Amino acid sequence: MRNSGLTVASFLALLCMNALARAADADSKAPEKYTLRYQFHAGDTLRWNVVHRCQIRTTVSASEQTAETTTLSVKVWRVLDVTPDGQATFEHRVESVDMRHRLSGREEVHYNSDKDMVAPRGFEDVAKAVGVPLSIVTLDAQGKVLSRKQNPVKAATPGQGEITIRLPEEPIAVGHQWSFPHDIEAPLPGGGIRHVKSMQSYTLESVRTGVATIRMETQILTPIHDPSLESQLIQYETSGTVRFDVDAGRILARQADVDKGVVGFRGEASSLHYRARSTEEFVAPAAKVAAREAGR
């Protein structure tokens, strides 16, 4: 029997061609993927301006007290060595600190490491942590800490946060999520250390003009039933964003926020509310800034 329309064979061939065309079109619209890696060069000195603002409001037996701290500091990494596979060893230090602390009913205490020869009472340990190597750190290209030699100073400056964020192993597209476990060592009120498990989660939100915006969040996984211990862990439950230079392989900016409370941290009639924001901005070397300004 003859048919003036399509034969079965030609009809099937047409269906196949349409399917191939749709597949090719889908491939052409596949989301772009990005490989995120840290990149360092031996001899480089990298700086970030760090700002940390913190307010702690406590209530114990109807007596309320508020402590407010603002710290401006400069974080410095001096790159000592980089291996062919991207592992970098650098010296981490805090170059300067300008710190203000105010407690309810008391005068504000101010310490500026560039101006004050002697630190005010209560700031002695902060002063000891300024201008000296705090640690020697070795990272791989994904930001995993391979080794860390810590300087036994009593205190570092607030707001310095984690050394890096961890980057995914595979190339990723916008919307991709990844996470890494992280152990926290929390000091116990009676002495000793409690090891607490947490999870650091990340999402690639966008990539524009070579800069990736990454949302980050840290969650405590270990069940905590002791309010006094919970009050110490609040500062780790952060959320925020990171701006990462994909081509240069470094963090350009980071912001982390905490706004949480605990009831019963010092008896039933007690509460604590912790609110903090830490930001850091990469400081471009003077030579690069001058070259960029000259090119305008």
pLDDT score recorded for residue 17: 65
* 221 is a domain residue: yes
pLDDT digits (tens, 9 = 90+) for 11-59: 556 566 666 656 555 555 688 999 999 999 999 999 999 999 999 999 9
Residue at 16 is within a domain: no
Q: Name the domain count of the chain.
A: 1
pLDDT score at 291 = 43
**Is 28 part of any domain?**
no
Task: Report the pLDDT value the prediction gives residue 290, as an integer from 0 to 100.
Answer: 42
Provide the token pair at 254: 């980071």
Write the CATH number for 164.
2.30.230
- Whether 144 is covered by a domain: the verdict is yes
Give the C-alpha separation, 220 to 231, whole Å. 12
Asked, for residue 253, whether it belongs to a domain, the answer is yes
105 belongs to a structural domain: yes
Q: What's the confidence (pLDDT) of residue 38? A: 97
What's the pLDDT at 241? 98
The vertex-48 CA angle with 44 and 53, nearest 5°, equals: 160
Whether residue 91 is contained in a domain is answered as: yes
Could you tell me if 80 and 90 are in contact, meaning their C-beta atoms sit under 8 angstroms apart? yes
- What residues of the chain score a pLDDT lower than 70? 1-29, 153-162, 286-296
Six-digit token string for 201: 């989660």
The pTM score is 0.83
Its domain, for residue 207, covers 34-294
Residue 161 lies in a domain: yes
CA distances from 179 to 50, 70, 176, 204, 205 (A): 25, 31, 11, 12, 15
